[in-house]
Amino acid sequence: MVSDFDLSRIVTNAASLDLARLPDLCKTHTARQIIDDRTRQSMVHEVQDMVHQKFGLQPDEALVDRVLQLRKGHIERLRDLVADDVSYIWCPVEINTTELQRSSPHFAVICLEAQRLLEGCDWTNPKEILQRLRSLGHQETGVSFPIAARCLRLVLSARKV
């Protein structure tokens, strides 16, 4: 290293940070922390505390750990997991059946078939989950995958988008 050192390569310009890359850097850093068992364990407790403060619920460690594993690479900060738009992860969902009927008259068949397809699924593997759900299309339910996905989103999260 001493032989490679060259004083002329040292510059006085201030280092700059591309703020557009910051969210991706945060996602990468958070994903690395989730991969490490020690840091993930402390993250689980931190998320449990945040959920308790925001929703008054105490999720068990296994659920929080599973959520962290599934959202790895998608979240920038842990507080993203307790945002209002993802409250369905922690809180029971209340959905109007007339809204479900409007989304698809076959919603009961779609839900039962999705449940059957996902039994024994590896919940830490989002690709497997999506692959199984993609087979939820025409053959089993008589509806296209986008309609089935819209119905499942409404059932699971009470959200249209």
pLDDT, residue 23, reads: 93
The number of residues making up the chain comes to 161
pLDDT, residue 137, reads: 67
pLDDT tens digit string along 6-48? 888 887 777 777 889 999 999 999 999 999 999 999 999 999 9
pLDDT, residue 108, reads: 83
Q: What is the 3-state secondary structure (H, E, C) of the chain?
A: CCCCCCHHHCCCCCCCCCHHHHHHHHHHHHHHHHHCHHHHHHHHHHHHHHHHHHHCCCCCHHHHHHHHHHHCCCCCCHHHHHCHHHHHHCCCCCCCHHHHHHHCCCHHHHHHHHHHHHCCCCCCCHHHHHHHHHCCCHHHHCCCHHHHHHHHHHHHHCCCC
- Our measurement of the distance from residue 46's CA atom to the centroid of its chain's CA atoms, rounded to an integer in Å, reads 17
Q: Where is pLDDT greater, at 51 or 151? A: 51
116: tokens are 């059957």
Residues 6+ apart with CB under 8 A from 128: 121, 122
pLDDT tens digit string along 43-100? 999 999 999 999 999 999 999 999 999 899 999 999 999 999 899 999 988 887 787 7
pLDDT, residue 63, reads: 94
Whether residue 138 has pLDDT greater than 80? no
Share of the chain above pLDDT 70, in %: 97
107: tokens are 């919603």
pLDDT, residue 141, reads: 66
Whether residue 118 has pLDDT greater than 70? yes
pLDDT, residue 49, reads: 97
Whether residue 140 has pLDDT greater than 70? no
pLDDT, residue 83, reads: 93
pLDDT, residue 139, reads: 64
